[in-house]
Amino acid sequence: MSLSEAPMTIANTVPELLHRTVLLDEAIDALNLDEGERKNGIYIDGTFGRGGHSRLILSRLGASGRLIAFDKDLQAIATAQQIDDPRFSIVHDSFATMGSSLAAQGITYVDGILLDLGISSPQVDDAARGFSFRNDGPLDMRMDTTRGISAAEWIATATEQQLEKVIRDYGEERFAFQIAKAIVARRAVERISSTRQLAAIVADTVKTREKGKDPATRTFQAVRIFINQELEDLEAGLSAAYAMLRPGSRMSVISFHSLEDRMVKQFLASKAKVPQPDRRLPIRAVDLPQPQMKLIAKIKPSDAEVAANPRARSAVLRVAERLEDVAKGMAT
C-alpha cells in the first residue's frame, strides 16, 4: 500500500481521500501497458490503498481492458467501491490469494502486476487503527479488522521468547530481548491496550537510537508485520504473481523496508538466474536451462519526490519481466 498518494485529475477520484502515491508514474510506466494490444489486457493492483495506482492504470487502459485490485483494509474497499468503471473490480483479500481468486473468475494469465507493499498514510494517520506510536489509540494494528487477533490480544498472551523473536526478526531491533522483558513486566501490572503504553515501554527501554528516529519505530513495525502476516503474504504473493504473468508481461514491486526489499530482490534474482550445468556433461545447447525472468530496473524516488513526501525516502521499486517458458511451450 502506498505510504502516500498524489492528487490526480482522473474521473471517479474522491478528493478528500487523495494523498501522494509513491513512485506513481514510474511503477505504472514500467508495466508497459500503453503498448499495442497490452492496453486491453488484464492487470492486477495487489494493494489498492486509496487508489492512486489503480486510477492511473484505468486512465491508460483500453476500452476492453480489465483491472482487478486487492486489499485487506475495509476503508480501502469502501474507497474502491466508489470507482464506477465496468473495467474495474475489487477483491477484499490479500494479494497472496490472487491465484485462486482469479481462477474462480476463469482468469489464468494476466498482462501486468503491481504490488505496493507496506502501510498507507491514511492507516498510519488514523489513531483508531493503532499503527502509529505518535498518536494514542487502541493497540489494534490489523489491516483487516474483521479477521485475526489485535496486537493488544497477542501482546497479552505471547511468551517473552515469542515477543523477542518477533521484535528481533521483523523489526531488526538489537534491543529485542530487553523490550520483550519490559513488556512482560509491564503487562503483569496492567493490560497493554494502547499505542501510547507500548511506545512508552519501548522508549523507557531503548536508550540509544538513530538520530531523528523514534525508539518505538522498529517494535511497532515488527508487531504490525507479525499481526498481518505481511512477509508470509509477500512470499505467497510473489510466487502467485510469477505464475500468473503472461510471457513478456511485467511485475512492479514497491517495498518500504529492508525485509520486504530483500525478499523481493532474492525472489526476482532466483527467477532471473540461470543454473550452470556441469561442463563435463554432454548437454545440447537447446537443453540448457533458461532464465524465467529478466530484471528490468531498480528505481528509487527522486530527490524532488522525497522533498515533497519524506515518507517516500525508503521506497524501492523493482521491475522484472516474465520470459517465455520454452520447455513448457507457454503461449503468449
Q: Can you say which residues are annotated as belonging to the binding site for S-adenosyl-L-methionine?
A: 51-53, 71, 95, 116, 123
Give the amino acid at 234.
L
Residues contributing to the annotated binding site: 51-53, 71, 95, 116, 123
Q: Phi first, then psi: give them for residue 89, nearest 5 degrees.
A: -145, 155
C-alpha distances out from residue 109 to 37, 76, 94, 238, 241, Å: 15, 25, 18, 14, 9
Asked whether 303 and 255 are in contact (CB, 8 A), the reply is no
Beta bridge partners of residue 322, listed in sequence order: 293
User: How far, in Å, CA of 138 to CA of 195, rounded?
Assistant: 6
Asked whether 264 and 255 are in contact (CB, 8 A), the reply is yes
Asked whether 48 and 32 are in contact (CB, 8 A), the reply is no
The answer to whether the Cα torsion of 326, 97, 234, 94 is positive or negative is positive
Q: Which of 201, 127, 143 is nearest to 167 (CA)?
A: 201
- The residues, ordered by sequence, that sit 6+ positions from 310 with a Cβ below 8 Å of its Cβ are none
